[in-house]
Amino acid sequence: MKGSILFLITFISSSIFSQTCLEGNCINGNGTLKNKDKSICKGQFKDSTYHGKGTLTYSNNNTYTGYFKNGKKNGKGVFIWYNGNKYIGSFEDDMVNGRGVYYWINGDKLEGVFKNNLYNGIGKKTFAKGDVYNGDFYNNFMHGKGSIKYVNGEVFEGEFKMDKKEGMGKLIFVDKSYIIGNWVNNQIVGELTTFSKKGRLIKTEKSSLEKKTLIFF
């Protein structure tokens, strides 16, 4: 898949003052509250604030189901976007914080530890077609050192930048022979060197942007 969907999440404040309690006890108990922005929270309340388990439905049809603390999302929860993308995992201070899994509607998923709505550090992304990336992430993008294992058995190891192969890399074929070269925008350019599975140099040649067999994604 070309490029990650950068899922910066802006959550709406959960303050309930001057809002409407549709049913139940929206002060201390279970109730349903309609906010000024037309979002609706159904669940547990304490001191007139979301506190405990509940479901918050936004006016744009995004939904959060999980735990609240003092009016903010805290603890385990599920956030579903109106477009079908979904996050399951930990929340803190109204943001995605902690271990979780982000699912794209196309079947891709990103799993690991999130901080302040972003993914940074070492993690794992599984693509719908079965390819798996393990390595560095920066602001939700594959960025830094990493590897991709393809469903056809081939493996790429090297540098990534903003979800694309960028820099030196090594492509290992199913028979364990491999090539080493420089990638730019997911394509190998300049000089490439081919080795046998035992590491014996076979040949060195100039690559070309026309070599479509070396383009992935």
Residue 13 pLDDT greater than 90, yes or no: no
3 lies in a domain?
Answer: no
76 lies in a domain?
Answer: yes
Count other Cβ atoms within 10 Å, centred on residue 135: 19
Between CA 14 and CA 129 the distance in angstroms is 39
pTM, entire model = 0.79
- Percentage of the chain lying above the pLDDT 70 cut: 87
143 lies in a domain?
Answer: no
CATH value at residue 46: 2.20.110
pLDDT in tens, 54-90: 999 999 999 999 999 999 999 999 999 999 999 999 9
Residue 159 pLDDT greater than 70, yes or no: yes
- Residues 6 or more apart from 42 whose CB is under 8 A from it? 31, 32, 33, 54, 55, 57
171 lies in a domain?
Answer: no
CA proximity to 125, closest of 4, 210, 206: 4
How many distinct structural domains can be found in the chain? 1
146 lies in a domain?
Answer: no
pLDDT in tens, 112-131: 999 999 999 999 999 999 99
What is the pLDDT, as a whole number, of residue 2? 40
Residue 8 pLDDT greater than 70, yes or no: no
**Is 102 buried (19+), middle (13-18) or exposed (0-12) by CB count in 10 A?**
buried
72 lies in a domain?
Answer: yes
53 lies in a domain?
Answer: yes
Q: Which domain range does residue 49 map to? A: 13-119
59 lies in a domain?
Answer: yes
Q: List the single range of 28-42, 72-86, 168-182, 195-209 with lowest mean pLDDT.
A: 195-209
